Each structure stands twice: as C-alpha cells, then as structure tokens.
Amino acid sequence: MTLYDLVAPGLDVLGEPRYRIAEIRAADPLGADALLAALPAMNAEADVPALTVALRTLVPDEDRVASLGVVDALAAMRDLGILLGSLKRHGTQPLAAVPEALPVLEELGRRTDMVPRDTVHHYTTWNPLGKRRRMYTGDPMEGNLQDAVRMVFPSLVASLDTCAELARLEPYDPCFALVLDRIAQQVQAMVDAIDLTVARVSPVFFAREMRSYFEEIDVAGRDYLGPAAAQVPLWLVDLTLWQCDRGNERYDAFLDDSVQYSLPSWRAHYAAHRGGVSAVSKLSAAFSWEGGGRVPATLTASAVSLARVLRILKTFRARHLTIARKAYSEEVRLYDAGSGGAPVALLRSVLDLTRDNETLVRRSVEPPARAAR
Ligand code: HEM
C-alpha cells in the first residue's frame, strides 16, 4: 500500500496504472540500476562520452518497447530521462548524440499518453527510494528537493476529486464550506514542502548545481522542458477556486504550456473546468445578490472556508517567491528564466492574483470597519 492509497481513497488506484507508485518505483525494465548508480560520478566529471554510451546502452529495441505495459514504460522513460537531462546539462542535445533514442521516446510517450520525455513525476514520485534512487548529482540537497516535491503529490491527487466536487456546488450549500475545508488540509502539503525546501536546499545549490539539469531538450524539432518543480500541478487547485475566470494572461499562458506535462486524467480535468465559473466568482455573485442585507450563515461559512484555502496558497507562494528570488538573484543565477520556462516575475504575478482573490473573499465577511482598513 502506498501513500496514495491512504490519502486518496476515492481513486481507482488499480484502474490507473500511473498511481501504482510502488510498482513503478520497483520496476527496472531496462536493467538500469547499476548504470544509473554511476550517473552522479559521470556528471561530476562532465563525461559526455560515458553519458552517451550509457544512453545508447539503455535504449531498448522496438520489440522490447512494444512489450512494455504502462508501468514499465513509465519506469523506462524515467531511466532514459535522467540521461537526457544529464547530457543537455553538459551542452549536448541528447537526440543529436543518440538519434536511435528518438523513436523510443516517442513510442514511450504514446504508450503512457504523456510527453515524449521525462517529467517531474518520473523524477520524484516514480523514482525509487534508497540505494536505487536516480539522481543527477547524488548530493543530499538534491534528495531533499526530490522529497519536497514528492510529498505534495498525494494531496494534489486527492484534491482533484475534491475540486471537481466543489465545482458542482453553490456557496449556499453547506457542503461548499466542508469541501473547502478538505481542500485546505490538502494544500497545506505545499506549505510543508516549501518549508522543507527552505530548511534543506540552499538557493545557491539549486541555482549553480541543479538548475542546469532541468533544461529543455529538442525532440523532433520541438522543445520539451525538464522535470522541474514548476510542473507540480498546483493549478489543479487554482483552476476551480479562481483561475478559470479570474486569471491573467501571463498565468493562463504558463498553464496552457504546463498542462501537457501532467497526467492524462489531470489534463482532462483541466479541459473540463477551464471554461467554468470559479468558487470566488460564485461567492462574490452570491454576496452581490444579498445586497448588503442579512447574509445566510451558510454563505458566511463558505466565504470563511474559501478565504482560509486562499490564505494557505498565499503562504506557500510568498515563501516560494522568497527562495526563488534568492536562487535567481543577479549574483547567483546562471539563467534568467526558471526551469518551467517562466521568470520569477511570474511568481510575483500569481502571488498577487492569489492575494487579491483572498482579500476579496475575506472582505465580504469582515465587519465594515475592519474591511475599510
Ligand atoms: C530551490 C527551490 C525552488 C526554486 C528556486 C523555485 C523556483 C521557481 C520558479 C523560478 C518558478 C517560475 C516558473 C519556472 O520555473 O519557469 C517556479 C514555479 C513553481 N514552483 Fe518552484 N522553485 C523551487 C522549489 C519548488 C518546490 C519544492 C515546489 C513544490 C513542492 C515548487 C512549486 C512550484 C510551482 C507550483 C510553480 C508554478 C507557479 C505557482 O503555482 O506559483 N517549487 N518555481
């Protein structure tokens, strides 16, 4: 039993191979364990010839790829993927060096219904623990970053169902507040994760050692981003709370680009909810209808719960912005843009949006004197 089974009891764990975390972690379909244990040493020496041979050695033939089920195909992509990012980090386009990997990546992408390279899921959730853990550098801080990202996925998976449930409710319904309280518990994991990162990953280490491994690579003429934390799908939660009708061009464009790196069911969730009415908009409309008269207790409870969730998101984003600013400060950074393809300015803009929505909701239930302050 995995953590997913514990926190996301509503999920059809057996029906969705991408949630069979323990099996994916245990899988070694390309026999890569020994070779990948040597990867940090190859990277430390910037040994491009050794990395090229390693990738060539692991690339399976057509028949082998055709025999892989989804669980093994995900593990195979994970193991090829960490070599792709390593080669790119040392200035080599991996598919120029090992062209025979191209049809394999494309087929693994098709079989798993994901992009034709590894994602943050391969690098964290589907990565084995202990001695078999795949790492670029082997540095404990890299492990801490992987752990921080890994720990939020169970909650975000669970939030998918909770957010879909919220989208079906109106703020006059007592369930609206109850569902939001569940979401609040789920998004708290983001705050815990960023606190762990701040405590155990130095921004200089991220900027100087890790960032370069997450560069984009060229796959058949198209760039695909590396397995960066920016692909953590917090947008799953934003979407129905406020983003679907209260975003801005910048964040909307970032999401449009990021969604492709997520799981098929999450992409379907995005497609189903992106044209919807957000919880903040529903609540704000309900308060307008009340016209300043006596507001029903259920509506007040809904606003209090919604403000609480937005406050937690705001806390994550404020702490995250602080560490991102340090890692991308002029003295430290090697790149202008984040590994998700966007600058730190995007984080400021998403934090502002989160804060504006939280302020709007909070003010609807504050007594006028406090709200005027
Ligand atoms: C040293 C650590 C980190 C740095 C320097 C950093 C930096 C950044 C930057 C610059 C962005 C803007 C988009 C882009 O990358 O292109 C971003 C986005 C993002 N990052 Fe991080 N990050 C770090 C750790 C984390 C961790 C541990 C998590 C989650 C557990 C996380 C979650 C996110 C999310 C969800 C976004 C999308 C924007 C948002 O929803 O606010 N990051 N990060």
Nearest CA to ligand 1 atom 33: 230
**Residues 288-301, mean pLDDT to the nearest whole number:** 89
- Are residues 189 and 296 both part of a single domain? yes
CATH number for the domain that contains residue 199: 1.20.58.480
Q: What is the pLDDT of residues 3-12, one digit of tens each?
A: 444 444 444 4
| pLDDT the model gives residue 369 | 57
Question: Looking at ligand 1, which residue's alpha carbon is closest to its atom 24?
Answer: 229
Ligand 1 contact via 341 beta carbon (within 6 Å): yes
Determine which residue's CA is closest to atom 4 belonging to ligand 1.
324
Is the CB of 309 inside a 6 Å radius of any atom of ligand 1?
A: no
Comparing C-alpha atoms, which of 232, 18, 261 is closest to residue 116?
261
317 lines ligand 1 (CB under 6 A): yes
Residue 318 beta carbon below 6 angstroms from any ligand 1 atom: no
How many residues appear in the chain?
A: 373
Mean per-residue pLDDT, 151-170: 95
Q: Is 354 in the pocket of ligand 1 (CB under 6 A)?
A: no
pLDDT of residue 1 exceeding 70 = no
- Check whether residue 126 and residue 189 sit in a common domain: no
| Binding site membership of 342 for ligand 1 (Cβ less than 6 Å) | yes
Task: Give yes or no: residues 238 and 126 share one domain.
Answer: no
Same domain, 155 and 74: no
Instruction: Give me the DSSP letters along 262-305.
Output: S-HHHHHHHHHHTTS--HHHHHHHHHHHHTTSPPPHHHHHHHHH
The Cα diameter of the chain in Å comes to 74
Atom of ligand 1 lying closest to residue 324 CA = 5
Predicted confidence band at 175 (pLDDT cuts at 50, 70, 90)? very high
Nearest ligand 1 atom, CA 206: 1
For 332-347, the pLDDT digits (tens) are 788 787 777 788 999 9
**Is the model's pTM score more than 0.85?**
yes
Domain co-membership, 40 together with 185: no
pLDDT band at 367; cut points 50, 70, 90: low
Q: Whose CA is nearest to atom 19 of ligand 1?
A: 230
Paired with 223 in beta bridges are 218
The verdict on the CB of residue 232 being under 6 Å from ligand 1 is: yes
The residue type of 54 is A
Residue 214 and residue 96 share a domain: no
Distance CA 345, CA 343 (A): 5
Q: What is the pLDDT of residue 4?
A: 45
Instruction: State whether the beta carbon of 138 lies less than 6 angstroms from ligand 1.
Output: no
Tell me which residue has its CA closest to atom 28 in ligand 1: 229
Q: Where a domain ends, among 138, 173, 200? A: 138
Number of structural domains in the chain: 2
What pLDDT score does 372 carry? 46
Q: Are residues 226 and 258 in the same domain?
A: yes
**Could you tell me the distance, in angstroms and rounded to a whole number, from the CA of residue 183 to the centre of ligand 1?**
20
Same structural domain, 320 and 195: yes
Distances (CA, A) of 317 to 20, 84, 228, 282, 338: 30, 30, 16, 24, 15
The domain that holds 23 is classified in CATH as 1.20.58.1320
- Helices 297-327 and 279-290, interaxial angle, to 10°? 140
- Domain region containing 66: 3-138
Q: Is the CB of 128 under 6 A from ligand 1?
A: no
- Decide whether any atom of ligand 1 lies within 6 Å of the 327 Cβ: yes
Cα(80)–Cα(227) distance, integer angstroms? 13
State whether the beta carbon of 17 lies less than 6 angstroms from ligand 1.
Answer: no
pLDDT digits (tens, 9 = 90+) for 25-53: 999 999 999 999 999 999 999 999 999 99
231 and 345, same domain (yes or no): yes
Task: Tell me, yes or no, whether 132 and 46 share the same domain.
Answer: yes
Task: Say which DSSP state 231 is in.
Answer: G
Instruction: Give the mean pLDDT of the chain.
Output: 93
Residues 196-255 have pLDDT tens digits of 999 999 999 999 999 999 999 999 999 999 998 989 999 999 999 999 999 999 999 999
Pair 95, 225 in one domain: no
Q: Which of 119, 251, 344, 347 to mutate to test ligand 1, by most ligand atoms within 8 A of the CB atom?
A: 347
Give the position, in ligand 1's atom list, of the atom nearest the Cα of 235.
40
Separation CA 300–CA 287 (nearest Å): 9
230 CA to middle of ligand 1, Å? 4
Residue 182 predicted with pLDDT over 50: yes
Q: Which of 86, 120, 138 is the last residue of a domain?
A: 138
Coil, strand, or helix at residue 172?
coil
Tell the residue nearest (CA) to atom 9 of ligand 1.
338
For residues 129 and 157, membership in a common domain is answered with: no
